[in-house]
Chains A and B, each alone.
Chain A
């Protein structure tokens, strides 16, 4: 009696602007002997994973902050929780002109560079490499915010000391 073995492999990856894409591949084979199952599963898994991995590297259309009209998730009902994808979003496909941070952060970094002769693009790039091991354009929003803080310190214009620790009600005080 022939034994049917179905295998399916699917993968979902995050993309910038809170999007994601997924791909799955299935295959069905017939086996003559039940003892072949283990080896065949192993073979199919490798084959399917390899195939899916190869294809999923092509993200196709990737929304940007400017195309949010069509690409952002639909507004949620007020107050309804929608957990952020916990798997982490990988970096966007390489694109020399694309910045990972927000347009506002990009503008801020460029303004610091333009307005402070001591802070050239190279200085900003080197600081980014030193802190994060990646270039300015690759920084995520948190890293860009940190870079801005540090560039402002370098420019002698640190942001005013934050006052969030003021007058905490309990005897535990944020240090």
Chain B
């Protein structure tokens, strides 16, 4: 579970597809259902694209929240100074690639990330006295008995049987919409939680750190996954399997294309 298989560059496309059929994550499934061609470019052809600024910011914020949650778990809460140092280190981490910053953009984004963290921690959304059940834990669920692939994922934070997921966002999320748009992710996490603990989650929370001029935190609370939602997810996974089987990688043009890094490649598709 905790070893990551290195992907060999010589793997044939069929090998890659076989591996993708054996294991699925919420992000792979969501992308496949959003645009199969984009999925193909990213996960089958593995076309490399520069890291985006928002991804860099999200990773740095996430690294700090992970350190902060781990520290409070062992009752050694981090001082603001250490939190800041952790952020500086996380920001300087370019192991996943570097961003092609415009002049002045990096400093502005770095400040934005810090202000998000400062706001989140200052508002004490997670009281120090409550211990986490898990922090950024990789988990998997064998769904073979349903004729489905192995589901994998990482839970950002579990606390009092609540599954908590962190997100940075440019806009203020709407609770109803966000519960719908994140359903694949939240239901995947619920399945992972249930398979790995033998218990049902108490509910789920999305903690959005919103990148406004005055940063704010929006917490969306969701109930436990319903049987109907589980069925929806399993059907979506079936569609994923069948699509890969048929090598169905057609483009799905729409609003989402405005942020697609494979726009140029897509225009050449026929």
Give me the interface of A with B, judged by CB distance under 8 Å. 14, 16, 18, 72-89, 102, 104-105, 108, 130-131, 140-143, 145-146, 148-149, 152, 159-175
Contacts and interface: CB of A to CB of B under 8 A. Distances in A.
Contact of B158 (A16, A83, A84, A142): A142
12 contacts: A78-B147, A80-B234, A104-B1, A145-B134, A145-B137, A161-B95, A168-B58, A171-B54, A171-B169, A173-B54, A173-B58, A174-B156
Contacts of A76: 145-147
A46 to B, nearest CB: 28
A130 B74 contact: yes
Interface in B126-180: 133-139, 144-148, 153-156, 158, 165-171, 173, 178
B256 A83 contact: no
A174 B58 contact: yes
B2 A145 contact: yes
Range of interface residues on B (Cβ < 8 Å):
35 or more
Contact of A175 (B52, B58, B133, B193): B58
B145 A75 contact: yes
Contacts of B74: 130-131
Given A16-B198, A87-B200, A148-B2, A173 B256 contact: no
B198 A146 contact: no
Contact of A79 (B136, B148, B173): B148
Given A142-B197, A169-B256, 7 more contacts: A18-B198, A80-B231, A88-B198, A141-B196, A160-B4, A166-B55, A166-B96
Nearest to B227: A83
B208 A108 contact: no
A98 to B, nearest CB: 15
B235 interface: yes
B204 interface: no
